[in-house]
Amino acid sequence: MGKRFIEGARVPAELVNQKSEKEKQSGGRPPFWEMVFWWTRKPLSGARAIIGASLLPEEITPEEFTTQLRLNEDIPHKYPPLIFSNREFLKYFLGKKMLDPFAGFGCIPLEALRLGLEVTAGELLPTAYIFLKAILEYPAEFGDILVEDVKRWGEWITEKLKEDKEIKELYDEEVAVYVGTWEIKCPHCGKWTPIVGNWWLARVKDSKGKYKRLAYMDYQKTEEGIEIEVIDVNKEVGATENAKVDTNKGEIVIEEKTYKVPAPNINSRREQVICLNCGSVIRFADAEGNHYTDKKEVAKGKREELEFYVKWALKKYHDGDERFARQRLLVKVKPEDGDLIFEKATIEDNKKLGIAKEKVKKLIESGDVDVPSENLWNYSASGGGALSIFIWGFDKFYKLFNPRQLLTLIKITKLIREVGKRAEDEKLKKGWSEEKAFKYSEAIATYLSIALLRYITFNTVTSPIRVDTLFNAIVAGNMSFRGIAMVWNYGEIFPFCSITGSWVKNNEKVINSLQYLTSALSNKPKNIEIIQADATSLNLGEQFDIIVTDPPYADDVPYSELSDFYYVWLKRALSDVEGGKLIPRYHKEAFFKKIGKKYIEIKTQWQEFAKKEVSENAGRFMDLENKQEIAKKHFKNLLTQSFIAMKNHLKDDGVLVTYYAHTSPEAWASLLYAGWKGAKVTITNAFPLTTESTQSIVSRGKLALDTSIVVVWRKIQQEKEKNIHSLREEIIEAVKKRTKELINQGYVGRDVLIGAMARALNIITRYKELYDAKGNLTVEKVLTEYVYPFTAIGIAESLREIAETGEIKKPESLFYLLVKALFGSKEKVTAKKMEKSDIILLRLSTKVDTDKLLSHKVLKKVKEEYKLLEPMTTDTTQLERFLKDERGINFIKLKIRNSLDGLHLMEYYSLKLPASNLRKKWEELKEDFSFELEEAFILAKILAKILPDVDPEKELAESFVRNVEGKEVKPLQQEKMF
Ligand SMILES: C[S@@+](CC[C@H](N)C(=O)[O-])C[C@H]1O[C@@H](n2cnc3c(N)ncnc32)[C@H](O)[C@@H]1O
Ligand SMILES: [Zn+2]
């Protein structure tokens, strides 16, 4: 069983991460990602590197690895790997089989196919299963001809839609986008007030950061109610380059004129709206709709029944009682010579919405099956607000659209169904076999459905207006924030305009994607199998050379519910209708359950699949007591089941690689429970990899999730049990060796930490059970009491060996040393960049708690983050200030509390005092603080050797050591370090 490249210390992680970063920037994104949004997609460069490294032998050089996989190209995924012209390398790939049971949007399988593997991609959710077919199967099977046909049939739909009398009647072809919102009847004055979350229409900067386009809405009170006005600053003053804009105040100042942009009149968090007519505050309603400004106005026991008036009114609206809330268009947007013109929406415009509403009503009353009337979920997601849209009364999927949006989407759905039939007939007439013609028409209908799905995300009452981006992207998709959120002005897009998100633009995106995919998969053997299957109970009856996969993490994304938004439309566009009901046509396994001979329609994924998702979502267990606990256990169980299934599908000499988008200690623990304890597989390596874009995650206010940990596992006969103490030396030695290897290759930070820790994990996971004097150890104990501390000791030992000096004994000193050594930038002086999980890991490793780190002045709390207290300068005045203000050193009554006080003080003295006096000072201080000063000196010796040149503390430590020893510190060349 030869070691693979991925199991050694030479995977060029830094390079791969750089390329993955590139992929997230515009121009670097894989085009097929634009088809439709899916969560937590993995960069293709990383996937390619991991698959390649799992199959190639350890002996190849990093250079060969990089060139063969084209990882040295600017954007690697734009280039096919070279291996096909190199028999030496091809042999490691040809005929090899890979499984990804959590395939999502198929990024890992796509790269596997490009490397010539035989691939099985599985997904629990029907929606993803269909996307996987569109990404992998059809392009590989049909190739280029698909591109032309999808284009042609997309245009056919566009033509039909353009000819549609109702479409002509309902839209104004000059208008690309309508901005709409909700109105509430004010309980004080009885008039309708619009609710506007953002009065801005355009606040666009040029490349130099100057404003090139400024426009906003204002309003007038009239007899008829609130009238919207558009203030187009460019129209009034021409160029706006010199404008000063204060978004907080809502002010534009330009050429001595001040424009006031109204403030939003809703504050959802505070549950309050201000009536634009009478200025009163609208707050709470009871069940009957009585209004209260203060909850205290009702008796104590009844206060819980009060809710935000707007919520109450919207719920009424969705129940069919439209006396308290209604929809309203505020503004229309017309494209003109590359610019956008904003005009207020007229009564006529709003009337059209009313006409559409009548038509939709008729469809619903007649029981038209193409109105997606499935129930929305009615619970929240535990990780955040991703699912909370239901609280505004949206209880059925079709309610997420205004009537004109809905009517248009339904028409397109019906046309896609029609295309399926026509495309099939066309090919049959050309003599294709029935089977092939059917599948081909399925492919065409599937791509057009995906274009429809994209249109759906941009065309709901939850698709926000963007004011600060390019003109052609004035509407954002409603999924871009990893959840569906309420918005108080949304965009409605005319199907045929050239604004991002329109029906015709989406067709272009789908065509682009298809071109990319067919060319990526051209000339490859058709060896892809896509299965709709639960990864926790997989039973394929075959084994794979490698399994590379990316399971979901805890409460990260509620996939079932969010993608239901797609599912209800996909089901319609891809099924047939008979007797007023949906019946199977394409992908019937995705939309129907077969019970006996009958096909029963699956209503939604949240009802059918959510509880099978490997996920920790307490909302799904809302009927149960201790739902939090149950959800946690549920996640752990399912993750374990899936690891067991993966082990069963792995060849004996196969390699299992898992991505895991979390680095907290709890995340490590659940991963080890599932893999090591549950499936009894052994870790052979681990390293961090850049994955998700930070942006989407930060917007949810969660800890940055932009790195995944990649863990490599093997099926190895594990020994029964072991006293963990007997492994101490072996673990520390292994960590030490790996640390040197990693540092030697220029690794820093988390890469060294995780890479070194992998050695410890490798050793412990060779045993089924570990125990110490107190008995068998839980996973948490193994980690916190042994793996982390041994890792820290091993790393510190290797640093100490480099500096040929004594041992660091105090935990806070060890913590400081590790942060300095691992997390410093080689390029510039900056505060240490650590994530919360890194700090936790280091804290656990060095067995020191946060309070102690704060009181010892190792860390300082800055808002929600922690900053390392370190000298950032070689200027004595500034150093003195650092010692006094930050470290709290009292020069008059000198007290040295720990080795770091000693270190920083001596570093300061070594600049301040003449060299001859320094040693004296040290000796003098040692009389009272002997331990602290000795350890300070050891720290200085290590820091002087290992810190990068840009770190000011390097010079300080050098000077301290030089003056005490009376000789120069030998500089250290990176390559010669060991
Ligand atoms: C982190 S995502 C994978 C993303 C994928 N690697 C990509 O690049 O697009 C995890 C996927 O696992 C799927 N999933 C969740 N539970 C599952 C189960 N029990 N069986 C199979 N798939 C499941 C989710 O639907 C989701 O698409
Ligand atoms: Zn009012």
Give pLDDT tens digits for 40-66. 899 999 999 999 999 999 999 999 999
- Higher per-residue confidence, 540 vs 830: 540
For ligand 1, what atom is nearest to the CA of residue 559?
25
Give the separation between CA 252 and CA 96, rounded to whole angstroms: 63
Given a contact cutoff of 8 angstroms between Cβ atoms, the answer to whether 604 and 567 are in contact is yes
What is the average pLDDT value for the chain, to the nearest integer?
92
Cβ atoms < 10 Å from Cβ of 786: 20
Distance of CA 640 to the CA centre of its chain: 23
Identify the residue whose C-alpha is closest to ligand 1 atom 17. 613
Cβ-based burial of 491 (10 A; exposed 0-12, middle 13-18, buried ≥19): buried
Q: Is the CB of 76 under 6 A from ligand 1?
A: no
Ligand lying closest to the C-alpha of residue 188? 2
Ligand lying closest to the C-alpha of residue 280? 2
pLDDT at residue 966, as a whole number: 79
- What's the Cα-to-Cα distance from 706 to each of 21, 823, 843, rounded to whole Å? 10, 17, 21
CA proximity to 33, closest of 98, 104, 102: 104
Where are the extended beta strands (E) located within 442-575? 490-493, 528-532, 544-549
Ligand lying closest to the C-alpha of residue 110? 1
Give the separation between CA 908 and CA 881, rounded to whole angstroms: 11
Q: Is the CB of 101 under 6 A from ligand 1?
A: yes
Check pLDDT > 80 for residue 636.
Answer: yes
Given a contact cutoff of 8 angstroms between Cβ atoms, the answer to whether 566 and 454 are in contact is no
Q: Is the CB of 8 under 6 A from ligand 1?
A: no
Residues ≥6 apart with Cβ < 8 Å to 782? 672, 724, 764, 770
Q: Is the CB of 612 under 6 A from ligand 1?
A: yes
Identify the residue whose C-alpha is closest to ligand 1 atom 12. 102
Instruction: Give 765's pLDDT tier (boundaries 50, 70, 90).
Output: very high
CA proximity to 13, closest of 741, 768, 855: 741
Given a contact cutoff of 8 angstroms between Cβ atoms, the answer to whether 428 and 173 are in contact is no
- In the chain, the percentage of residues whose pLDDT exceeds 90 is 79
**Cα 460 to ligand 1 centre (Å):** 26
Q: pLDDT tens for residues 324-383?
A: 999 999 999 999 988 999 999 999 999 999 999 999 999 999 999 999 999 999 999 877
Highest mean predicted confidence (pLDDT) among 226-230, 628-632, 795-799: 226-230
Where are the extended beta strands (E) located within 437-534? 490-493, 528-532
Give the separation between CA 943 and CA 818, rounded to whole angstroms: 10
- Residue 769 DSSP code: E
Pairing of strands 325-336, 177-185: antiparallel
Cβ-based burial of 79 (10 A; exposed 0-12, middle 13-18, buried ≥19): middle
- Higher per-residue confidence, 69 vs 385: 69
Instruction: Give 834's pLDDT tier (boundaries 50, 70, 90).
Output: low
Ligand lying closest to the C-alpha of residue 274? 2
Choice among 205-219, 348-362, 380-394, 740-754 with the minimum mean pLDDT: 740-754
Element (DSSP H or E) covering residue 722: strand 719-723
CA proximity to 704, closest of 688, 720, 726: 688
Q: Is the CB of 643 under 6 A from ligand 1?
A: no
Q: Is the CB of 506 under 6 A from ligand 1?
A: no
Report the DSSP beta bridge partners of residue 799. Answer: none
pLDDT at residue 88, as a whole number: 87
Cβ-based burial of 720 (10 A; exposed 0-12, middle 13-18, buried ≥19): exposed
Cβ-based burial of 515 (10 A; exposed 0-12, middle 13-18, buried ≥19): middle
Q: Which two tokens stand for residue 602?
A: 């699956």
For ligand 1, what atom is nearest to the CA of residue 614?
16
- DSSP helix/strand/coil, 661: coil
Q: Is the CB of 121 under 6 A from ligand 1?
A: no
Q: Which two tokens stand for residue 559?
A: 């996939």
**Cα 49 to ligand 1 centre (Å):** 20
Query: For a substitution probing ligand 1, which of 50, 614, 649 has the most ligand atoms within 8 Å of its CB?
Result: 614
Q: Is the CB of 535 under 6 A from ligand 1?
A: yes
Q: Is the CB of 102 under 6 A from ligand 1?
A: yes
Q: Is the CB of 105 under 6 A from ligand 1?
A: yes
Choice among 324-338, 529-543, 679-693 with the minimum mean pLDDT: 679-693
Choice among 67-76, 605-614, 627-636, 820-829 with the minimum mean pLDDT: 820-829
First to last CA, the chain: 30
Pairing of strands 211-222, 225-232: antiparallel
Residues ≥6 apart with Cβ < 8 Å to 618? 382, 555, 627, 628, 630, 631
Given a contact cutoff of 8 angstroms between Cβ atoms, the answer to whether 84 and 94 are in contact is no
Instruction: Give 151's pLDDT tier (boundaries 50, 70, 90).
Output: very high
Choice among 739-753, 758-772, 883-897 with the minimum mean pLDDT: 739-753
Given a contact cutoff of 8 angstroms between Cβ atoms, the answer to whether 144 and 129 are in contact is no
**Cα 190 to ligand 2 centre (Å):** 6
Instruction: Give 692's pLDDT tier (boundaries 50, 70, 90).
Output: low
Give the separation between CA 135 and CA 118, rounded to whole angstroms: 16
Identify the residue whose C-alpha is closest to ligand 1 atom 10. 552
Query: For a substitution probing ligand 1, which of 613, 639, 659, 706 has the most ligand atoms within 8 Å of its CB?
Result: 613
Q: Is the CB of 128 under 6 A from ligand 1?
A: yes
Instruction: Give 833's pLDDT tier (boundaries 50, 70, 90).
Output: low
Ligand lying closest to the C-alpha of residue 646? 1
Give the separation between CA 43 and CA 17, rounded to whole angstroms: 9
pLDDT average, residue stretch 890-917: 92
What φ, ψ does residue 367 adopt, rounded to 5°? 70, 30
Q: Is the CB of 448 under 6 A from ligand 1?
A: no
Ligand lying closest to the C-alpha of residue 265? 2
Report the DSSP beta bridge partners of residue 432. Answer: none
Choice among 309-318, 511-520, 683-692 with the minimum mean pLDDT: 683-692
Q: pLDDT tens for residues 410-421?
A: 999 999 999 999
CA proximity to 261, closest of 245, 277, 238, 273: 245
**Cα 313 to ligand 2 centre (Å):** 15
Where are the extended beta strands (E) located within 101-243? 118-123, 177-185, 192-194, 200-205, 211-222, 225-232
Choice among 94-103, 547-556, 834-843 with the minimum mean pLDDT: 834-843
**Cα 867 to ligand 2 centre (Å):** 50
Check pLDDT > 70 for residue 457.
Answer: yes
Identify the residue whose C-alpha is closest to ligand 1 atom 15. 613
Query: For a substitution probing ligand 1, which of 29, 99, 119, 123 has the most ligand atoms within 8 Å of its CB?
Result: 123
For ligand 1, what atom is nearest to the CA of residue 42?
8
Q: Is the CB of 871 under 6 A from ligand 1?
A: no
Given a contact cutoff of 8 angstroms between Cβ atoms, the answer to whether 940 and 903 are in contact is yes
Ligand lying closest to the C-alpha of residue 129? 1
**Cα 200 to ligand 2 centre (Å):** 23
pTM: 0.91
Residues ≥6 apart with Cβ < 8 Å to 615? 552, 554, 555, 556, 558, 559, 634, 635, 638
Element (DSSP H or E) covering residue 659: strand 650-660
Give the separation between CA 497 and CA 858, rounded to whole angstroms: 58
pLDDT average, residue stretch 878-895: 92
**Cα 124 to ligand 1 centre (Å):** 7
Identify the residue whose C-alpha is closest to ligand 1 atom 8. 41
Cβ atoms < 10 Å from Cβ of 511: 19
- In the chain, the percentage of residues whose pLDDT exceeds 70 is 95
Give the separation between CA 337 and CA 318, rounded to whole angstroms: 40
Residue in this structure with the two tokens 């920037």, named with its chain if needed: 25
Q: Which two tokens stand for residue 569?
A: 């439309």
Q: Is the CB of 613 under 6 A from ligand 1?
A: yes
pLDDT at residue 24, as a whole number: 83
Share in percent of the chain as helix, strand, coil (round to 5): 45, 20, 35
Instruction: Give 203's pLDDT tier (boundaries 50, 70, 90).
Output: very high
Give the separation between CA 26 and CA 367, rounded to whole angstroms: 44
**Cα 432 to ligand 2 centre (Å):** 67
Q: Is the CB of 183 under 6 A from ligand 1?
A: no
pLDDT at residue 7, as a whole number: 96
**Cα 182 to ligand 1 centre (Å):** 36
Q: Is the CB of 536 under 6 A from ligand 1?
A: yes
pLDDT at residue 841, as a whole number: 77
**Cα 226 to ligand 2 centre (Å):** 11
**Cα 939 to ligand 1 centre (Å):** 46
Give the separation between CA 695 and CA 677, rounded to whole angstroms: 35
Give the separation between CA 310 and CA 392, rounded to whole angstroms: 8
Element (DSSP H or E) covering residue 373: none
Element (DSSP H or E) covering residue 762: helix 749-764
What φ, ψ does residue 256 adopt, rounded to 5°? 65, 5
Identify the residue whose C-alpha is closest to ligand 1 atom 3. 104
Give the DSSP letter string of 292-345: ESSGGGS-GGGGGG-EEHHHHHHHHHHTT-TTSEEEEEEEEEEEETTEEEEEE-
Q: Is the CB of 442 under 6 A from ligand 1?
A: no
> Which ranges in 38-144 belong to alpha helices (H)?
44-55, 62-68, 87-90, 107-114, 126-132, 138-142
Given a contact cutoff of 8 angstroms between Cβ atoms, the answer to whether 537 and 638 are in contact is no
pLDDT average, residue stretch 654-661: 94
Give the separation between CA 816 and CA 846, rounded to whole angstroms: 10
For ligand 1, what atom is nearest to the CA of residue 551?
10
**Cα 40 to ligand 1 centre (Å):** 9
Cβ atoms < 10 Å from Cβ of 222: 9
